[in-house]
A and B are shown apart, each in its own frame.
Chain A
Amino acid sequence: MIKGGYMGKILRINLTGQTYSEEAVTGKLAADFIGGAGFGVKFIFDEVPAKSDPLGPENKIIFAAGPLTGTSAPCASRMAVTAKSPLTGAVGMSLSGGYFPAEMKFAGYDAIIIEGRSDKPVYLWVNDGKVSFRPAEKVWGTKTFDCQQIIKDELRDQNIRIACIGPAGENLSKIACIINERRAAGRKGLGAVMGSKNLKAVAIRGSRQVPVADPEAFKEARQKMTEAMKQSPVLYSTFSHTGTPLVVDATCELGIFAAKNWSATGEWAPVEKLGLDANTARKIGRDRCYNCPVGCSQLKLARDGVYAGTLTEGPEFEAVYSLGGQTGVDNLDAVIAADRLCDELGLDNMSAGVAVGFAMELYEKGILTGEDTGGTELNFGNDGAMLDLIAKIAFRRGLGAVLADGVRVAAEKIGKGAEKYAMHIKGLELPAYDVRGAKAHGLNYATSYTGADHNRGYAFQELFGIPVPEAVDRFAYQGKGRLTKWNQDIRTATCDCPSMCAFILDMALPATAPQNTADMVNAATGLQLTPADVEAVGERVNNLARVFNIREGFTRGDDTFPERILTEPIREGGSKGCYISLDELNKMLDEYYTARGWTPEGVPTEEKLLSLGLEEAAALLKGSPE
C-alpha cells in the first residue's frame, strides 16, 4: 500500500488521437521497480512491440521521476527518460536533473508515457493535472533555450518547466538529446524519438505537495543522509566548488583521459589548458538542481577570441573530453562555445564531440578528403571546424549529414576502413575514461544495457580509488565480472530508480547506499524494502533490460569493444602499455555472466528471471530460440 512519495498517477498521452488518460501506480510496480529507470524499462518492455522502428509511432517515450523527487530529500530532482534508442536499437535510458522532474511531481504525476505520433508539430501543456495539445509551428525550428522562453511567454508563466528538443531532434539526428532548462537527457538519441513524434516540448507546472508517508522517519533518514554528505571528504569542501572538471586533472594523471579519437591517450594530456585551473578561471557562478545543497553546476564564460562572451552551464568533464579531448581542441573558450551550441541545437555533446574527433582522424588518415569536408582542413585541434561541423550535424548538412546518425552508421556510409576508428559500443559513442587503464569500467561499457555508458555501472573503485566494497587494481581483469555486476545493480537501484544524483553515491554513500535508499524510500512511501530488496531492484531492472535487448537481436558478440581498445596499447602516461585483449574481455564476460546467473551466451536463465519475479521475460525467452 502506497502512502506517500508517489503522486499515485501515471499520465498516458496518445499523440495520434490527441487523447490522454491516467493510470494508478500500483504497490507492486513501486516495490519491484521503485521509479525512474525502473519504470521506464518496465514500460518499454511491456508496451513497445518487438523490432519496432525506434522512430516509428509504435515506439514510446517515458519521463519518470522517483518517489523521492519533489520531497525534501536532497539531490533527488532527477528523472529517467526511456525509449527504444534509435542510436543503438537497445534500451535507451538517459537521466536528467534540474527542476522539471520535481515539477512533474507537483503537477500530479510520477511518470508520463507518450505514444503515437502527431500529424503536425505540437507541444504538451501539463498544468496541475490538466493536459492540452498545443500547436508548435511557432517554435518548430527554434533552438532549445529560445523554445523554452517562447513557450513560457505564450503560456504567460515564467515558472513553467519545459523539456524540449532543438533542430537536431527535429531533423531526427540519432545523437539528438532532450534539454530541460539547461540540463539534458543527453544520450542515446532520445531527442530524435520526440522529433519523430512531432513533439517539440513538454511544458509542465504544478502546485501540489508530494506527500510523505512517515514524516518523522523521513526526517530522521534525511538527517542521516545529509550528515553522510557532510562527512564526505570532498563533496562540499572541493566538488561543490570545482564541479566535474576536476576529473580532467585526475584522469590525465591516471593516464586515462582519452584523446584524439582514442589515438593519443596519455600522450596528449591538456591539464593546463582544459583542466581545473582553466575552468576555474572562467567560472562566474554556480547553479543547482531543485533542492540540491551541493550545487556542482558551474557557469562559465568564454573569455577570449571569437568565443568571448559565450556563457554555458558546464562544460562538464565528459564534455571537456568529447569537445576538447576527442577533437584535440585545447582552447577551453572554444569548448565552452561548443558545449553551449550542442545544448542549444539539442545535440548530445558527448556523441557529437566523439563524432567530430572520428571525422578528424579520418581526415588526417586520408579516408576523408577536402571533397568530403567542403574544403575545410579538418585536422585535430581545428576549433572553428569543430563548431561548424556540430551545426552541420544538427541540420544534416554536408559531412554533418553523414555524422548525424552517430559514428557506427557514419563508418558504414564512409567505408574505406573507417569502421576501425569508430569508437562506439552497440552504436553509442564512448564516454571519457580510457578503459584500457580501468578494466571494470570497461566491462561496464561492454555490458551496459544502453551501450557504452559510464553511468550504468561507474567503477569508482578504479577511477577514484574508493575502496568499496574493496580496493581494486584497475589494471587487472580478475574479479571485474563480479564487481561490474555490483556496480551496475547498486547504481541502478540507488540512483537511477529512486531517482537520486549519482554523485552522492560516489562521494558520500558508497558503502551505505542500499540502506540509505531503503530508509528514504520506505519513510517516504510506506513501502518496507530491505537493503537486499533495494539491490534486487537493480538486478531486476538490469535483467529485464537485458531481455529487451535480446528480444531486439543483441547477443554476447555485442558485448565488446572497438578494435582499438582490444589491440592498441596506450603509449604514454600513467596507463602506458595497457589494453584489453580479446582473451581478457572473454574471461571478464564469463565471470560477469556467471555472477549474473546468465548462460555463457549472456542470456538470463529462467531460474534467475523467475527469482526476480520477471515471469513475462522468462516466458519470452522460453518462446524464442537461444
Chain B
Amino acid sequence: MISVSVRGIAHIGRLLGKGDNTVFLPQGSRLSELLDLLAEKYGRPFEDTLYTGQGKELNKHTRLLLNGQDIAFLNGLDTVLKEGDHFSIIPPVGGG
C-alpha cells in the first residue's frame, strides 16, 4: 500500500475536513482510483464539486494538483500515484 495526503481548499476543505487527510491505496493506483475512493467516502457533495454530472467528466473550474502540478500537465486521471504524493483540490478564485 501507499499513502497519499489530500487537502481541499475553502468549501472543498470543509467537505474533506481540516488539514491533510491521509488515504491508503494499493501500489500502482491511479489518480482516478483516488477520486473514486474519495467519492465513496464523501458522497454526493464531493461528486458535485468534482464532476459536471456527465459521468466522470471533471468540472473545468475545479483545480486538481498533484505535488503542486496541474494534473492536465501530468497524465491526467491516469497519473500513477506513488508513496508520499500530495493531492490538492482548489476552487477557482482570484484576486489580491
Q: Which residues of A are in contact with B by a Cβ distance under 8 Å?
A: 233-234, 237-239, 242, 244, 246-247, 249-250, 253-255, 276-277, 296, 316-318, 431-433, 437, 454-455, 458, 460, 463-467, 471, 473-475, 502-503, 506-507, 573-576
Contact = CB atoms under 8 A, between A and B. Distances in A.
Given A246-B10, A249-B13, A432-B96, A575 B91 contact: no
Contact of A255 (B11, B18, B68): B68
B10 A253 contact: no
Contact of B90 (A237, A255, A458, A465): A465
B63 interface: yes
Contact of B65 (A276, A503, A574): A574
B35 interface: no
B4 to A, nearest CB: 15
A574 B11 CA distance: 21
A296 B7 CA distance: 25
Contacts of A574: 65, 67-68, 86, 88
Contact of B68 (A432, A437, A503): A437
A464 B70 contact: no
B95 A276 contact: no
Q: 4 tightest CB-CB pairs across the interface, nearest first?
A: A574-B68, A506-B94, A465-B63, A233-B61
B69 A475 contact: yes
B50 to A, nearest CB: 12
Contact of B63 (A317, A464, A507): A464
A244 B95 CA distance: 6
A244 B70 contact: no
B59 interface: yes
Interface string B1-42: 000000101110100001000000000000000000000000
Given A506-B95, A574-B67, A253 B88 contact: yes
B96 to A, nearest CB: 4
Interface string B69-81: 1101100000000
B70 to A, nearest CB: 6
Contact of B96 (A254, A317, A573): A317
A253 B7 contact: yes
Contacts of A249: 9-10, 13
Given A239-B93, A247-B96, A255-B68, A234 B13 contact: no
A343 to B, nearest CB: 17
B92 interface: yes
B44 interface: no
Contacts of A576: 68
Given A249-B9, A250-B9, A253-B9, A507 B88 contact: no
A339 B59 CA distance: 36
B58 to A, nearest CB: 11
Contacts of B7: 253
Contacts of B95: 239, 244, 247, 296, 316-317, 502-503, 506-507
Contact of B93 (A246, A318, A455): A246
Main secondary structure of the interface of B (DSSP, over half): loop
18 contacts: A233-B61, A234-B61, A234-B92, A238-B93, A244-B95, A246-B91, A250-B10, A276-B9, A296-B95, A431-B96, A432-B96, A455-B96, A458-B96, A465-B63, A471-B70, A473-B69, A473-B73, A574-B86
Contacts of B11: 237-238
A573 B68 contact: yes
Given A432-B96, A458-B94, 12 more contacts: A233-B59, A233-B92, A234-B91, A250-B90, A253-B68, A317-B95, A317-B96, A318-B96, A433-B96, A437-B68, A465-B92, A473-B70
B60 A467 contact: yes
A72 B68 CA distance: 41
B96 A276 contact: no
Given A473-B70, A573-B68, A574-B88, A464 B94 contact: yes
Contact of A234 (B18, B70, B72, B93): B93
Interface string B40-69: 000000000000000000011111010111
Given A253-B7, A253-B65, A466-B61, A247 B70 contact: no
A466 B60 CA distance: 8
B68 to A, nearest CB: 3
A318 B95 CA distance: 9
B65 A464 contact: no
Contacts of B90: 250, 253-254, 464-465
Contacts of A244: 95-96
